Structure 1
Amino acid sequence: MKQLVALILCLVAATASADPVGRVLDSHVLPGFARLAKETASLAAAAEVGCDERDPDLRAALNGALRAWAGVSHLRFGPTEAENRAFALAFWPDSRGMTPKALAGLIAAEDPVVQDAQAFAQVSVAARGLYALEFLLYDEDPAGSDAYRCALIRAIARDSAGLAQAMAADWHDRYAALMRAPGPDSPYRSQDEAMQELFKALGTGLQITADLRLGRPMGTFDKPRPKRAEAWRAGLSLSLVIAALNSQKQLALMLAEGDAGLQERLGATFDRALASTAALDDPALAGVATPDGRVRVEALQQRVNEIRELVAQELGPELGVSAGFNALDGD
């Protein structure tokens, strides 16, 4: 009996290891985009119920959508990038301050484009998506009429829900199957290429967390830039770092399933970074403007870079893949 049980366990393990890409799709990618679609749909529904910028339910719905985006923001390929969906849903970083300008233009003109979903999908990405909505809901000096701002908020929320639904449907109905079955009709010639895409996504996510989510607000010691933090108006900057790291941890551990020791080292390194976030108590990362606060954020960034180093030096060789180019190269 013991021999039979051992044989069954070996067969189960062999079956699981034979389709690592499918396992990541089913447990990480597809659920992540389903959650994003659900949270943005809730956001659109909340905007229809009440479009007052100070409405706590509307703000809570936006916060949920932003966290859901942080959980998939490393998956910057395939349906996420098609038709500029990611840029339209999540135009950040906005290094030139285009979002306030684009929104101000719509509000000043009371542009009727907000009444037509198809037309609104053609406006500048700077005036669309979750970060445009964050600006409107947390702007301390709102401009324009209440009626137009309400219409604009609803238009952005509906558009965001549509973008997220398109991503989720494209992943579920088409792209996941292409990754599961590499070959002439797939963007991937082999399972190794599909695995490399997932490994590259992990590296991209960690780079975004270290260099953008943490690096941008730090600026330089003499000139910190706290208002360059992601979603700082909503006080979500640290929360989005945590959401991203938890999702990236899940992906890393799944990719390392063939090596228990490496899984343990990755888990411990991620846990050290997450422990650093718990010690910050700085929701908007505003503390980077002080020497003590900057040191704490630098320490967190170093923890994230330790994960990046471990992923590059051990996980990549374990999988037999390299990072290659990612979505941030050339930016």
Structure 2
Amino acid sequence: MRIPALITVLFLPLTAYAQDRAPILMDVTETHILPRFADLAESASALATTSQQDCAPASPNLRAAYGTAFDDWISASHLRFGPTEAEDRAFAMAFWPDTKGFTPKALSQLIAAEDLAVQEPEAYAETSVAGRGFFALEQMLYDPAFAEQGSSEYRCALIQAIAADIDANATAMSADWRVYAPKLTQPGENSPYRSQNEAMQELFKALSTGLEFTADTRLGRPLGTFDRPRPNRAEARRSDRSLRHVELSLIALRDLAARLSFDHPDIAADLDAGFARAIERAQSIDDPALAGVADPQSRFRIEALQQSISDIRTIASTELGQTLGISAGFNSLDGD
């Protein structure tokens, strides 16, 4: 006889609910979350400084600083709660997917009007979120369509404004995460989380949502369908970072999964093996912009990578989530 899912939940071991989560909450906060936002703040500051020294789009130093800061954002971007979501910071850092092409429109409007918001960080922070963050900067650095728009002086000022805005956002997130950390490690009256279980659910949701976004959006959007692949929908394709983002995300989520499953070695081993397979597949693909989705042979390897991430999601849901007595719940991809 099949036992209804609700009753199955009731039969979970009491230890799933009674277990002391404090060591894991502290470990994830101190060694997974805070260092990532500290690194992001440091590299974003370096990006802003570099843009002031050399704003030429093809500048090797500027592009390198951009790449380092973008790497750090991708490695932290699965942590979409608390200070990361405040004031739409996550969208201001990375407005993607941009399904209606708002980013090039926002940039073109700024350039055409020579909008003076670029002169004041507070004013620029009030402009359209589509014209802010890493994807706006990518278009200014890598898209030939913006190489001749407006004056070179204004394009330089715009590049510098976007970099400064990224820096301000990263600095604010890092500072606010240090203040927010005790709310995650010490749930209760002074925290958004009433219990350790709620705090653990937030972290598990970050893992689950991160895997979902990488499989269904980072890979799913360019894959499209076999008859209609969509290579131009790949994330950060202009800077050849599409596959890199998949790998960076998997590496970060592997670390989070290991920490969440620390008390359950068998599950930890299953998760780690799943991540190892997925990362190995990602590293074996020589297609930085995922243009191969349009080629049947290359497409097969990208689909295999997507499936390996889906396999990790299954392990996380059926093994880790059930053992911890928690589920992913609603996430930032669900909308209203």
Identical columns (%)? 55
Give the equivalent residue in structure 1 for 2:153.
147
Give the equivalent residue in structure 1 for 2:316.
311
In the alignment, structure 1 residue 171 sits paired with structure 2 residue 177: yes
In the alignment, structure 1 residue 298 sits paired with structure 2 residue 308: no
In the alignment, structure 1 residue 81 sits paired with structure 2 residue 85: yes
**234, 245, 249: which one aligns with 1:244:** 249
Give the equivalent residue in structure 2 for 1:7.
none
- The TM-score, its normalising length taken from structure 2, stands at 0.92
Q: Are 2:76 and 2:252, in contact at CA under 8 Å, matched by a contact in 1?
A: yes
For residues 31 and 166 of structure 1, the distance between their equivalents in structure 2, rounded to whole angstroms, comes to: 14
For residues 112 and 83 of structure 2, the distance between their equivalents in structure 1, rounded to whole angstroms, comes to: 34
**261, 264, 269: which one aligns with 1:264:** 269
Give the superposition deviation at 1:17: 6.3
**207, 213, 217: which one aligns with 2:212:** 207
* Secondary structure of residue in 1 paired with 2:332: coil
Q: Relative to 1, partners in 2 of residues 1:228 and 1:154: Cα closer, same or farther, differing over 3 Å?
A: same
* Secondary structure of residue in 2 paired with 1:244: helix
For residues 221 and 316 of structure 2, the distance between their equivalents in structure 1, rounded to whole angstroms, comes to: 23
In the alignment, structure 1 residue 323 sits paired with structure 2 residue 328: yes
Give the equivalent residue in structure 2 for 1:38.
42
* Stretches of structure 1 lacking an aligned partner (at least 5 in a row): 1-15
Q: Are 2:21 and 2:200, in contact at CA under 8 Å, matched by a contact in 1?
A: no
Q: Are 2:55 and 2:159, in contact at CA under 8 Å, matched by a contact in 1?
A: yes
Shift >6 Å, 4+ stretches:
none
In the alignment, structure 1 residue 278 sits paired with structure 2 residue 278: no
Q: Are 2:223 and 2:293, in contact at CA under 8 Å, matched by a contact in 1?
A: yes
Give the superposition deviation at 1:19: 2.0
* Stretches of structure 2 lacking an aligned partner (at least 5 in a row): 1-19
For residues 150 and 306 of structure 2, the distance between their equivalents in structure 1, rounded to whole angstroms, comes to: 40
Q: Are 1:17 and 1:258, in contact at CA under 8 Å, matched by a contact in 2?
A: no
Give the superposition deviation at 1:41: 0.9
- The residue identity in structure 2 corresponding to 1:310 is I
Aligned Cα root-mean-square deviation (Å): 1.3
For residues 241 and 100 of structure 1, the distance between their equivalents in structure 2, rounded to whole angstroms, comes to: 24
Q: Are 1:53 and 1:138, in contact at CA under 8 Å, matched by a contact in 2?
A: yes
For residues 20 and 285 of structure 1, the distance between their equivalents in structure 2, rounded to whole angstroms, comes to: 36
Give the equivalent residue in structure 1 for 2:16.
none
Give the equivalent residue in structure 1 for 2:14.
none
Give the superposition deviation at 1:330: 2.8
- The residue identity in structure 2 corresponding to 1:206 is L
Q: How many residues align?
A: 316
Moved more, 128-137 or 290-299: 290-299
For residues 291 and 144 of structure 2, the distance between their equivalents in structure 1, rounded to whole angstroms, comes to: 17
- The residue identity in structure 2 corresponding to 1:170 is D
**134, 137, 140: which one aligns with 1:136:** 140
- The TM-score, its normalising length taken from structure 1, stands at 0.93
Give the superposition deviation at 1:18: 4.1
Q: Cα deviation per residue 1:13-67 (whole Å; 9 max; x = unaligned)?
A: xxx9642101100110001111111111111011011000000110111111111
Q: Are 2:22 and 2:185, in contact at CA under 8 Å, matched by a contact in 1?
A: no
In the alignment, structure 1 residue 162 sits paired with structure 2 residue 168: yes
Q: Are 1:256 and 1:262, in contact at CA under 8 Å, matched by a contact in 2?
A: yes
Give the equivalent residue in structure 2 for 1:57.
61
* Secondary structure of residue in 2 paired with 1:93: coil
* Secondary structure of residue in 1 paired with 2:243: helix
